[in-house]
Structure 1
Amino acid sequence: MGTLFGNADLLAAIAPLDCVLRLDAPSILTPNLLSLLPPNRVVLAFDAAALAHDGAQKQIAALHERGYRLMLDGALPPSVLRPSAAPAVALDCRDGAPPPSSLLPSFGPHLARRVDSAGRFAECARAGFDWFSGAYPFDAAGGQGQDGTSRRRLLGLLALLARDADSRELELVLKQDPVLSFHLLRLVNSAAFALNTPITGYVQAIAVLGRRQLQRWLQLLLYAGGSADGLPNLLLPLAALRAGQLEMLCKAEGGERDEQDLAFMTGAFSLLDRLLGMPMQDIVGDLRLPGHVEAALLERSGALGERLRMAEHGADSDALRAAGIDGATWWASLLHAHHWAIQVSRNV
């Protein structure tokens, strides 16, 4: 933990988000460790069972006095009252959620962990949870709200992006998709670009972004919400995370700019089957991608496929060694990917 938080880049990479640090007991936190954990950026979540140990209540009160936000994870020990210094709840909800509104009387935000389905997410939200972790984004109904015409238009745009089409060709497709157009114009007018003059047309938007950035953003804007005023699809930050990490790994390994673009595309496209609700084989067949990109998306084979699989599931030291990636490079790619995914989510 000291090594992790001793790296100043960690909290900078995930800003403005805070870090929830789950620990067995407050006694783990030595003065040296606490010096690495700024109270304004780190939320401490302790196993509620630790309250049965002598001194735990006083330690929690002392951390509260130092300005830390505190959660208790799990059920309280018998005959132990919840301390006022730790009013927020964290709970493993894999096997069920508390009754509706049961958490509302308690001060939050409350964290629901291992939320692995859209149905469980809804149950946890009704219970009063504010923060969620788990695989629930993958459970969204694929292709929801997309008719056959919309799906064909998306696939047509993907094909144009894959073959580096002319800006005018992209413009023609964008004009047929008001939702995607809305998200593109909102993006170029966001704080990320800090322009003095509002952008109102496709030609202007393409000129502001540049072709390379336009293609990258459009690959991710495909995951934008199903309506102009809707929230982005929950798959958006996951696609951005994979795209950013594969790009950074490619760059670190000496890949040329075109190779980096293909690595980014591979990460961005890796969730299209879930987005569109159709087999990846059918999607790839329409895009005419380079062979090694197809192999990565369909089979997770080849060097690019191996890195995609690692970005999806994580990697231990043995997997990194087998892939020829050192720990520092992997860590840097993770920080870059999280920073990029947060930027995307804030601006789309």
Structure 2
Amino acid sequence: MSTSESNLFPLVGLQAVANAHNEWVAVSFHVPQQAQGALLAALCAADVYAHLAPLDCIIPVGEPHLDEATLAQLLPQLVPQRTIFRLSTTAASNQHMQQRCLQWRDAGYRIVLDGPGAGPVTAAQVDARALGIDASAELPGLQHLMSLPGPHLAYNIADSASLAAVCALGASWFAGDYALHGARRDSEAEQGTSRRRLLALLGLLARDADVQELEVPLKQDPALAYHLLKLVNSAAFGFTATITSFNQAITLLGRRQLQRWLQLLLYARQQDDGKLNALLPLAAVRAAQMESLCQLRGGDRAAQDLAFMTGVFSLLDILLGMDMADIIATLNLDPAVSAALLGRSGELGAMLALAESGATPASASLARAGVDGKTYWRSLLQAYQWAITVSRNI
């Protein structure tokens, strides 16, 4: 692919969809309105379903997204049993589309009906078993969801209050930025203790401390120690003998991999209600995408490590409930990492801003990071693949 062709590669965004336990169950595709063929080009550029396995893929259909002609071209690239069409109510009112939906159902596809007027009557016309709910708009009545089996998908969820509202309504699949704006439930004393331990561990990681030093804060935090040993004994690594100590883990994993997993384990502690921490896979996506972008741009191993660390640490202010400047002040980070975290400046800052764009990547962000569309798409798929592995093994 030439430079000019690569720059024209259409941008397709991805957004994770989680269940009530903050476990990822699907990935929603965001397709530019002005580029009907964007998703086809993206699917043809990589084995998307392999990268996102075992999650379902949610694809928007109908105005202002994919029209029927484009979708017909797209179908050969799709895996029916893992594909959900999010169908607009405008498209669902078309009799020809209603016939198509019955054919898709017979082929194994599922349909979520989304838009004004969506309800049991309109859902029956296209054999939709679930509704899409825009949490940023007026919510539908409870009766619209009760007669449909679901799972109902709520999206554009901005915060914990919005999440609670769609949960009460009956939604069980969720997408949005609510993880970045959730309410902390820890007591002040617990927050203080947790912060000190986490910051101590972060400081040790930043200065490449030896394993004996790393063991101290880990032993003081049983949850982190548990998750580390659970991780290294998981199927993700395939070790035949049970690993029972940090020394064993370092020997088998290697220090570089251990440090990366430890950085992610900072997000692994469960919430008061027993749910997984919704920030964990988000941190994994940012870290892995930044590493991938750095690698695809020709960065060496040291540069990739800094990129990975920047992505992981970019959510520490939310995790700890502290200003990023106060966190940085306690750590001995590389100046480039600090500059990226504090002001999104420098090369790492440009890549971090791009990784933060999530479902809506902008051409200007790509240009600032020196990344073309195809490179961005490859890095995004690799990041999601890594995050899915992390979420299922920590």
The answer as to 2:98 corresponding to 1:57 is: yes
Q: Distance in 1 between matches of 2:179 and 2:139?
A: 17
Task: Give the structure, 1 or 2, with the largest relative contact order (CA under 8 Å, sep 6 or more).
Answer: 2
Q: Taking structure 1 as reference, are residues 22 and 104 closer, same or farther at Cα in structure 2, changes over 3 Å only?
A: same
The answer as to 2:250 corresponding to 1:206 is: yes
Counterpart of 1:230? 274
With 26-35 and 185-194 compared, the bigger mean Cα shift is at 26-35
Kindly state the Cα deviation for residue 124 of structure 1 after the two structures are TM-superposed. Answer: 1.5
Contact 1:96–1:120 (Cα < 8 Å) also in 2: no
The answer as to 2:124 corresponding to 1:83 is: yes
Q: 2:320 aligns with which of 276, 293, 300?
A: 276
2:123 match: secondary structure? coil
Counterpart of 2:30? none
Q: How does 1:1-348 map to 2 (within 5 A)?
A: 1-24=39-62, 27-28=68-69, 30-76=71-117, 81-83=122-124, 85-98=127-140, 103-142=145-184, 144=186, 146-226=190-270, 230-313=274-357, 315-348=361-394
Kindly state the Cα deviation for residue 104 of structure 1 after the two structures are TM-superposed. Answer: 3.9
Q: Taking structure 1 as reference, are residues 212 and 227 closer, same or farther at Cα in structure 2, changes over 3 Å only?
A: same
Number of residue pairs matched by the alignment: 348
1:114 match: secondary structure? strand
Q: Distance in 2 between matches of 1:78 and 1:151?
A: 47
Contact 1:102–1:127 (Cα < 8 Å) also in 2: no
Residue type of the alignment partner of 2:179 = P
Q: Distance in 2 between matches of 1:199 and 1:96?
A: 52
TM normalised by structure 1 equals: 0.93
Contact 1:242–1:268 (Cα < 8 Å) also in 2: yes
Kindly state the Cα deviation for residue 112 of structure 1 after the two structures are TM-superposed. Answer: 0.6
Q: Which runs of 5+ in 1 are unaligned?
A: none
Contact 1:111–1:131 (Cα < 8 Å) also in 2: yes
Q: Distance in 2 between matches of 1:177 and 1:30?
A: 51
Q: Distance in 1 between matches of 2:53 and 2:120?
A: 39
Contact 2:119–2:145 (Cα < 8 Å) also in 1: no
RMSD: 2.3
What is the CA deviation profile of residues 99-123 of structure 1, one whole-angstrom value per residue up to 9, with x for unaligned ones?
A: 5686243121211111111122122
TM normalised by structure 2 equals: 0.82
Residue type of the alignment partner of 2:60 = R
Kindly state the Cα deviation for residue 286 of structure 1 after the two structures are TM-superposed. Answer: 0.2
Kindly state the Cα deviation for residue 187 of structure 1 after the two structures are TM-superposed. Answer: 0.6
Kindly state the Cα deviation for residue 96 of structure 1 after the two structures are TM-superposed. Answer: 4.7
Kindly state the Cα deviation for residue 245 of structure 1 after the two structures are TM-superposed. Answer: 0.8
Counterpart of 2:14? none
With 193-202 and 277-286 compared, the bigger mean Cα shift is at 193-202
Counterpart of 2:31? none
Contact 1:18–1:43 (Cα < 8 Å) also in 2: yes
Residue type of the alignment partner of 1:339 = Q
With 222-231 and 135-144 compared, the bigger mean Cα shift is at 222-231
Contact 1:242–1:337 (Cα < 8 Å) also in 2: yes
What is the CA deviation profile of residues 9-67 of structure 1, one whole-angstrom value per residue up to 9, with x for unaligned ones?
A: 21111111111001116734554321112201211111012232232221211211221
Kindly state the Cα deviation for residue 345 of structure 1 after the two structures are TM-superposed. Answer: 0.7
Q: Distance in 2 between matches of 1:96 and 1:144?
A: 32
Counterpart of 2:4? none
Residue type of the alignment partner of 1:214 = L
Q: Taking structure 1 as reference, are residues 77 and 293 closer, same or farther at Cα in structure 2, changes over 3 Å only?
A: closer
Kindly state the Cα deviation for residue 127 of structure 1 after the two structures are TM-superposed. Answer: 2.0
What is the CA deviation profile of residues 123-174 of structure 1, one whole-angstrom value per residue up to 9, with x for unaligned ones?
A: 2222221211111111123483533122111100000000110011001221
1:190 match: secondary structure? coil
Q: Which runs of 5+ in 2 are unaligned?
A: 1-38
Q: Distance in 2 between matches of 1:184 and 1:100?
A: 42
1:76 match: secondary structure? coil
Q: Taking structure 1 as reference, are residues 100 and 166 closer, same or farther at Cα in structure 2, changes over 3 Å only?
A: farther
Q: Distance in 2 between matches of 1:158 and 1:79?
A: 51
Identity across matched positions, percent: 48
Q: Distance in 2 between matches of 1:72 and 1:302?
A: 43
